[in-house]
Amino acid sequence: MIKPDLTVNLGGIELASPVLAASGPFGYGYEYLKRIDCSALGAIIVKGVSARPWAGNPPPRLAETASGLLNSIGLQNPGLEQFEKEVMPRLKGMAPRLIVNIVGCDIGEYAEVAGRLDGMEGIDGLEVNISCPNLRAGGIAFGTDPAETFNVVSAVRRQTSLPLLVKLSPNVSDITVIARAAEEAGADGLSLINTLSGMLIDIETKKPLLGNTFGGLSGPALLPVALKMVWQTAEAVNIPLLGMGGITSAEDAIQFMMAGARAVALGTAFFYEPEVAEQVAEGLRGYLEKHEIDAIGKLEGIARKGGPADAR
């Protein structure tokens, strides 16, 4: 039986596995990494880090939906100084590869964070978060406008030589326009998709359920939307894609790869199945063995080859 090669290169980051932990549900990772088999994960992408501490949004911040989860955390985080002093030492030697999700209220803050993380020992790449729907300033405000996307990604690019992923929002009319702007500004890869903006109402209190009224939807309900956007973006850019949105199984992950993703990230699934990364990595290996495919990279975009997209 063949021994399939699961390694991939994601925008300059060599990964032993194409399965990553998405920024958000995995937190800063050290709690999970203590109890799971880390060899299944190619990298972890830690929760967003800003220059100074952010308090986040008022509670309630989470609500379950049918096949999904609505969140409005507001990127609560301890800021760069605490991140360096307290989080980084705890992650030492634990993470397979470490990618830091970076956020800011304005372009200056994004650039400041990128500059200070550049060269910090143990960091393999940055993910620029221009897609958080739960902020008054920053986040999605950059990710819905191609000119702003270009400006913020260029500013970050000037501050770092680390591999740079840019995390895109589905809350746009054409994700490929934003994807191209990020690529032109120097992104090495794209992460997609972040959450879909939504809300719930508590019919007893007769008020919005979340403290911030609106939140971002993640989980399995999102998968077909994310898959379509990965497919469209793969057509539009020449940099690798990290696909995410509702992945809970190897079968889901394979669909993302066949649509054009080089690697995949798991998010909400960690909340109810901490061992999901092992299950997905094992399932990928099993699929490749069964179909006698010697390398995971051979799945990338395979559903598009000779299909309607190629005919255009």
- Least Å distance, CB 158 to ligand SIN, is 23
Rounded distance, CA 186 to CA 302, Å?
26
**Phi-psi group of 260: left, alpha or beta (phi > 0 → left; psi -120 to 50 → alpha; rest → beta):** left
Burial code of 259-297, b = ≥16 C-beta within 10 A, e = fewer? bbbbbbbbbbbbbeeeebbbbbbebbbebbeeeebeebb
Q: Which residues are catalytic?
A: 132
Residue placing its CB nearer to ligand SIN in the complex, 71 or 255? 71
- Least Å distance, CB 75 to ligand SIN, is 4
Alpha helices in the chain (DSSP H): 30-35, 79-82, 88-91, 107-117, 140-143, 146-159, 175-184, 223-236, 250-259, 269-272, 276-290, 308-311
Residue placing its CB nearer to ligand SIN in the complex, 43 or 75? 75
Rounded distance, CA 1 to CA 5, Å?
13
- Least Å distance, CB 40 to ligand SIN, is 24
Residue placing its CB nearer to ligand SIN in the complex, 46 or 75? 75
The one-character DSSP state at 87 is I
- Least Å distance, CB 171 to ligand SIN, is 10
Residue placing its CB nearer to ligand SIN in the complex, 199 or 295? 199
The one-character DSSP state at 54 is B
Rounded distance, CA 48 to CA 75, Å?
6
Rounded distance, CA 148 to CA 181, Å?
9
Residue placing its CB nearer to ligand SIN in the complex, 73 or 192? 73
- Residues in contact with ligand SIN by CB under 6 A are 24, 71-75, 129, 131-132, 134, 194-195, 216
- Least Å distance, CB 214 to ligand SIN, is 10
